[in-house]
Structure 1
Amino acid sequence: MSNDFLTKPVQSIKTIGPRRAAILQKAGIFTVKDLLYHFPRRYEDRTRLREAGACAHGETATLRGTVLTAQAIRPKRGLTVTKLALHDGLGVFYAVWFNQPYIKKNIPIGTKLYVTGKIERGFGAVQVMVEEYELDDGGESLSAGRLVPLYPLAGQLNQRLLRAIVKFALDELGGHTGDFLPEKLLRKFSLPLFREALATIHYPGNAEDAARARKRFIFEELFLYQFSLALCRREIARWEKAHRYLPEGKMTIAFLESLPYRLTAEQAKVWREISRDMESRFPMHRLLQGDVGSGKTVVSVLALLKAVESGLQGVLMAPTEILAEQHYYGMKSVLAPLGVEVALLTGGMRKKEKEELLERVSDGKVAVLVGTHALLQESVRFNKLGMTVVDEQHRFGVRQRAAFRSKGCWPDTLVMTATPIPRTLALTLYGDLDVSVIGELPPGRQPVKTYAVPHRLLARVYNLIREQVSQGRQAFIVCPLVEESEKVDLQAAVELAENLAAGEFRKWRVGLLHGRMKPFEKEDVMTSFRQGETKILVSTTVIEVGVDAPNATVMVILDADRFGLAQLHQLRGRVGRSAYQSYCVLVAGPKTEEGRARLKAMTRTTDGFALAEEDLRLRGPGEFYGTRQSGLPEFKIADLLADWKILQAAREEALAWISADPHLQRPESKVLLDEAKTRFNMGSGFTL
């Protein structure tokens, strides 16, 4: 059997009709491969079947018995209790279901049954509060007498259904013995073959077998990702760019002289690295890391200006409209006096206005175009694109970066992030990029004083805001916003702004900013805040990234324990952007040890890299790097923190493989390429 079986729709598996297929699709399972790669999150040891009499009150156990009687009672309105009496060979116990009246009809007297659930003992009887059951038909049991897989669930999926269809799929996979991982690597790392690993990860004989199968799939996933990055790197090094840059010219010198400060030593060092890359024959592909407020934007403007001076166009892409607008207004104010036309493209523009702008871009009249994802649309065409800048790298992945290649002849790419990633991990995660770091803040900046306080001290926090605003400063108050209760939280932010405007801060103008506002409304609010008319801005986390208001000196974060460290650090970075002393107050009553540890870390250090390490330790990289966004693939089984040793080994092997076979002539290389393309969706715009 070939790989074709794995690409078939999940509906091709026995017992899966349209209704079940729809349930599976809601969990992201569309093909047989999706199903088999829906790995168990853990296993429950049900290898020992217990007698009811030997079970302790409160424990979870799996019992087997024959149904003697069945009854369904309704003790109160809206509650049905179904109770089956079963005999396990030594005595009688009772299996109990709530609000599942069909159980009585579906399980006739005389049926042999496995039940798993919590044991309750009382008045001499043993009851099982049933979490799962399975008919004992004499065949192989999937939920008793073995290590039982427990899968991540979504929608109407349940464990019993998943186990059964995974088993059907594994049985149908039968003769498939092909493996896309090279035999040499399987031997070197003692990894099981594909077919064996799949069978074992779903139905392991013991914990050691399960661990070995997991290691195989972790290595496979990380190796293919590193293989993809190595190919990107090889591709970049293979193409010579059509454009050339002139040495530093009058515009660049005039821009540097117009700055109210000199570049810091690290800014100057990074600018030399970028400038050298730009003047090279091959496209630049560089990641610029710098903590919040370290001055990355100035360096990116220098890169765009160098392109413009050389007769080329530049583009800057930001993850949100607020940040794109801020970049646009900031660049326009410094570049317009130099005769450089800067324009803004957003999703909310009127059709006619957009068409006129796109025409000026394709004619080369617009020198620098700023925007959001809208820049990636096919209708956006440049006259001579030389330089692309991507802000907040963790929001965009390899595919988004690659999309710009079709808009220019291998333009240079600078991607920036204020998310501080430990350097070794940055090299591993962004293997297609060179890395530059600005590790110092501009002179005159003072570290932000950070405090964690309980809700009962909120009146004191408001006193601090009053003091600062009286001195001519401004303040942010951030309300938490979580998807599960977005409307409730939004209402809370609206009410808070209204209450503060009528109460605590009635002497001053209080603004409100949230994600559901129209772009022009957001811009009006931000303009009023930037110009100092609005003194206190109540906001949801839309201000997390990039909002620049140097006069703001107080950042109050309500329910701060609901935020991750990376988010708290980004929010704190909205203040402390001038010579004035700034304050960040975390208002919280953390109920977990992790929540307390996050607040303690925030009050202890303002070093983003130290916080990155702490966040990795506390929560793992999924939260910190935004793998749930588009920056990195959603790894199905690998954990970048726990599996960092495998990640390093996978990187070394991928680089060695590409080095030994740069043109992918070996049959194994072609198989790896096909797998990498499908695995990481590297289709259009991604040239390998």
Structure 2
Amino acid sequence: MDTYSDIKYVKGVGPKMAESLNKCGIFNVLDLLLYFPRDYENISVRKSILECAKAEKVIIECTVLNVLGDIRLKNNKTLSTIIFCQGDNEFKGKWFNQTYAKNSFKISSKYLITGKVDKFKEEITIMNPKIVKNTSMDENEIIATYPLKNNITNNFFNKIISDVLCNIIITENLPKGIIEKYSFCSLNDAIRSIHSPKSLELLNEAKRRLKFQELFTYSLKILMLKEFIKSHNNGIQFKMAKELTTLKAMLPYNLTKAQSKVVREILIDQKKDIGMNRLLQGDVGSGKTIVAIITMFNVVKNGYQTAMMAPTEILAKQHYEEIKNILKDFSLNIQILSGSTTAKNKQLIKQDLKSGTIDIIVGTHALIEDNVEFENLGMIVTDEQHRFGVSQRNRFSNKGKNIDILVMTATPIPRTLSLYLYGDLDVSIIDELPPGRQKIDTSYESMENSSKVYEFALEQINKGRQVYIVCPLVEENEEMKLSSVEVLYEKLKKDQFKYIEVGMVYGKMPSKLKNEIMDKFKAGEIKALVSTTVIEVGVNVPNATVMIIENAERFGLAQLHQLRGRVGRGEHKSYCILLANIKNNIVRKRLGILIKSNDGFFIAEEDLKTRGAGELFGIRQHGESGLILSDVIDDISILKLANSEAKRLIQSDNACDVMVKNEILQKIEQTSSYICFN
């Protein structure tokens, strides 16, 4: 067995279970070993069932006394019951609508189970008990728990991990000097301990090693991008196109002083004989896109092509429409390339890009496909660049030679991190909003008052306005008790909004359907849009005046500020209402920051403080950053060490170091993970 063996050939898996594992993103042995635990349960303390308090979550050892038949209840639920015992003490395990759960238990067998205790008079019950470990298994005291779905049990997952680890040896791939310098455990030991730790000390050592491994490789990739930019730094010298004056005079509004300053900075860069590599920061609604359009226009008028890449199709389509509108009088060939572009149009667009007949192309990740070629690309713009992985940024930069690069973000980046994330970029900041932007009335309400909030939203709709409603989840999650798009959408259609048109969008919805719904919302046909954070970035509907965010306590402040920025874009008074489970002063204090301030830079800094650096730009390690274990803020000390060692390796002429560097970079391309091994 090796790391690239198909998961279906692992003992106990087979084709049917492999399909369920595939839905978790697990296709081979490497994927399995990189599917790290969400949490751990320490089972060294085993309580007697008599000592357990009501509503307490416990782990106890017990024996199955009897498996009872299922009972069909009046409320269309099915009750499954098992009688457990601890010596002479009996108690029940109960499941609702999980008839398969009891199939994992055998009469007279011993188990460690976990669940929440319920007590009624003399009867003790554990609700929805799960097997932590069959007592015939190994003697670990700490059990890994995984974020599983599709009826894959934690017990089964632990078992196949254990079987794989018994049949594989993981080859070390960090230089020996680094391992000795920082007293790291071996990669083989780290992978074993992260899944099956013998102690908390060994678990922490494994995490330290793997986080370093991930951030070292991440830094290596960033530094290679820097090297590429350096080696291709003989930039194109663009002249100041005379048509710029005409374009500025034709704009539907005057640029702010900050916008004009940034345009000048970029145009000066474009005149130089070294390639531009500039980061543009600006708060929500500060007008970054028009700056990009003006500077892209200058490049086009010098006879070169330009490209803009956005993280979502919704945003790409919006940029495309805005560019077409602003430049409509200049006879330019402007196209969009995304996942929903038809195969026929994709082929035509790719041909026209290669022949040079397209002046400006806007798109999503589709722009970095290998078969997308340019005749003479002069400038690329990436919007919300933090949402693109390092590999994606590399591939986009490789589309041309000596091109100017402009990266834009509405999320302020702390200086200490920007060096690691983006290298030595020149930074431009738009620090003022265009005149006429409405101040958004922000408030928070308890989730219990949601009916009152939706009544207010309906009043606004009856005045001709539109409403956004954002939820943290797509599907219902009973354990977390969070609002979901699907459930709230159905509820609003049947209740408060039953006489108006309601729409629903979320990230994984088919692009064509998502675009149709967004077009209807922009046209005013849909009055209320229930959504995930897919509408967080850049969506512009001036008639939308109410933003309702359910379970607002689950979002970072910077992300809430981004969402709030979707309203207040027209002439009408706008509102942002944060519906939250307000259980303590910490939640009140956090949400209070949004009520007091509309300054995105201030809010981002406060977000880092109040959330303990828990969220970077609204994404976590399993999101677009590509990191699966570490976090570039929480693990900043490890990142500094990893970055330092990666720099040394990049600069080294030692044959062994060069071989290690090339091998790691090759593995990243093969696995798309920063933790890679044989």
Question: Is 1:162 paired with 2:169?
Answer: no
**1:606 to partner: Cα distance:** 0.7
Matches within 5 A, 1:271-282: 271-282=263-274
TM-score by length of 2: 0.80
**1:203 to partner: Cα distance:** 3.3
Q: 1:252 aligns with which of 244, 255, 258?
A: 244
Deviations 1:5-60 (CA, angstroms, capped at 9, x unpaired): 33333455444444444443333333333333333333322224556676667655
Matches within 5 A, 1:74-93: 78-85=78-85, 87=87, 92-93=88-89
Question: Is 1:602 paired with 2:600?
Answer: no
Is the partner of 1:192 in helix, strand or coil? coil
CA contact (8 A) 1:70 1:84 kept: yes
CA contact (8 A) 2:316 2:364 kept: yes
Match of 1:8 in 2: 5
CA contact (8 A) 2:71 2:80 kept: yes
Matches within 5 A, 1:423-434: 423-431=415-423, 434=426
Rounded to whole Å, the distance in 2 between the matches of 1:462 and 1:16 is 52
Comparing 344-353 and 668-677, the one that deviates more: 344-353
Comparing 308-317 and 510-519, the one that deviates more: 510-519
CA contact (8 A) 1:94 1:128 kept: no
Match of 2:290 in 1: 298
Rounded to whole Å, the distance in 2 between the matches of 1:166 and 1:657 is 33
Deviations 1:601-629 (CA, angstroms, capped at 9, x unpaired): 32121111233234444396558443588
Q: 1:327 aligns with which of 315, 319, 324?
A: 319
Match of 1:658 in 2: 650
Question: Counterpart amino acid of 2:577?
Answer: L
Is the partner of 1:5 in helix, strand or coil? coil
Matches within 5 A, 1:362-377: 362-376=354-368
Comparing 448-457 and 659-668, the one that deviates more: 659-668
Seen in structure 2, the aligned counterparts of structure 1 residues 497 and 23 have a Cα distance that, compared at 3 Å, is: closer
Rounded to whole Å, the distance in 1 between the matches of 2:249 and 2:427 is 27
Match of 2:480 in 1: none
Is the partner of 1:254 in helix, strand or coil? helix
Match of 1:639 in 2: 631
Matches within 5 A, 1:11-410: 11-49=8-46, 70=66, 72=68, 78-85=78-85, 87=87, 92-94=88-90, 96-98=92-94, 107=106, 109=108, 114=112, 130-132=129-131, 134-137=133-136, 140-142=138-140, 146-173=141-168, 176=170, 178-240=171-233, 244-259=236-251, 263-345=255-337, 348=340, 359-376=351-368, 380-405=372-397, 407-410=399-402
Rounded to whole Å, the distance in 1 between the matches of 2:562 and 2:520 is 23
**1:229 to partner: Cα distance:** 0.9
Rounded to whole Å, the distance in 2 between the matches of 1:122 and 1:513 is 42
Question: Counterpart amino acid of 1:270?
Answer: V
Deviations 1:486-515 (CA, angstroms, capped at 9, x unpaired): 4444456767897676xxxxxxxx997867
Match of 2:468 in 1: 478
Q: 1:421 aligns with which of 413, 428, 441?
A: 413
Seen in structure 2, the aligned counterparts of structure 1 residues 357 and 491 have a Cα distance that, compared at 3 Å, is: same
Question: Is 1:539 paired with 2:539?
Answer: no
CA contact (8 A) 1:72 1:104 kept: no
Question: Is 1:450 paired with 2:442?
Answer: yes
Match of 1:685 in 2: none
Question: Counterpart amino acid of 1:606?
Answer: N
Is the partner of 2:327 in helix, strand or coil? helix
Q: 1:555 aligns with which of 546, 552, 568?
A: 546
**1:642 to partner: Cα distance:** 2.5
Seen in structure 2, the aligned counterparts of structure 1 residues 48 and 232 have a Cα distance that, compared at 3 Å, is: same
CA contact (8 A) 2:438 2:574 kept: no
Rounded to whole Å, the distance in 2 between the matches of 1:521 and 1:61 is 46
Comparing 345-354 and 320-329, the one that deviates more: 345-354
CA contact (8 A) 2:521 2:529 kept: no
Matches within 5 A, 1:457-472: none
Question: Counterpart amino acid of 1:555?
Answer: V
Comparing 179-188 and 450-459, the one that deviates more: 450-459
**1:304 to partner: Cα distance:** 0.8
Q: Percent identity?
A: 32
Rounded to whole Å, the distance in 1 between the matches of 2:151 and 2:284 is 43
Question: Counterpart amino acid of 2:26?
Answer: I
CA contact (8 A) 2:457 2:546 kept: no
Matches within 5 A, 1:612-627: 612-616=604-608, 617-618=610-611, 624-627=617-620
CA contact (8 A) 2:173 2:660 kept: yes
Rounded to whole Å, the distance in 1 between the matches of 2:443 and 2:124 is 53
Rounded to whole Å, the distance in 2 between the matches of 1:436 and 1:608 is 16
Matches within 5 A, 1:559-578: 559=550, 561=552, 564=555, 565-577=557-569
**1:213 to partner: Cα distance:** 1.7
CA contact (8 A) 1:553 1:582 kept: no
Match of 1:504 in 2: none
Seen in structure 2, the aligned counterparts of structure 1 residues 464 and 477 have a Cα distance that, compared at 3 Å, is: closer
Deviations 1:325-376 (CA, angstroms, capped at 9, x unpaired): 4333433343343454434445555666666655554443332233444444
Rounded to whole Å, the distance in 1 between the matches of 2:124 and 2:577 is 50
Seen in structure 2, the aligned counterparts of structure 1 residues 444 and 611 have a Cα distance that, compared at 3 Å, is: same
* Structure 2: stretches of 5+ with no match in the other structure: 476-483, 507-511
Seen in structure 2, the aligned counterparts of structure 1 residues 257 and 522 have a Cα distance that, compared at 3 Å, is: same
Rounded to whole Å, the distance in 2 between the matches of 1:499 and 1:66 is 52
Seen in structure 2, the aligned counterparts of structure 1 residues 356 and 601 have a Cα distance that, compared at 3 Å, is: same
Seen in structure 2, the aligned counterparts of structure 1 residues 53 and 326 have a Cα distance that, compared at 3 Å, is: closer
CA contact (8 A) 1:236 1:282 kept: no
Rounded to whole Å, the distance in 2 between the matches of 1:357 and 1:107 is 62
Deviations 1:296-322 (CA, angstroms, capped at 9, x unpaired): 112211221221122111122334454
**1:147 to partner: Cα distance:** 2.6
Comparing 69-78 and 27-36, the one that deviates more: 69-78
Deviations 1:143-185 (CA, angstroms, capped at 9, x unpaired): xxx23333332222222222223223333335x5x42122332
**1:216 to partner: Cα distance:** 1.3
Question: Counterpart amino acid of 1:33?
Answer: L
Match of 1:686 in 2: none
Seen in structure 2, the aligned counterparts of structure 1 residues 341 and 608 have a Cα distance that, compared at 3 Å, is: same
Rounded to whole Å, the distance in 2 between the matches of 1:521 and 1:158 is 37
Seen in structure 2, the aligned counterparts of structure 1 residues 133 and 326 have a Cα distance that, compared at 3 Å, is: closer
Q: Looking at CA atoms only, which structure, 1 or 2, has the larger radius of gyration? A: 1
Match of 1:505 in 2: none
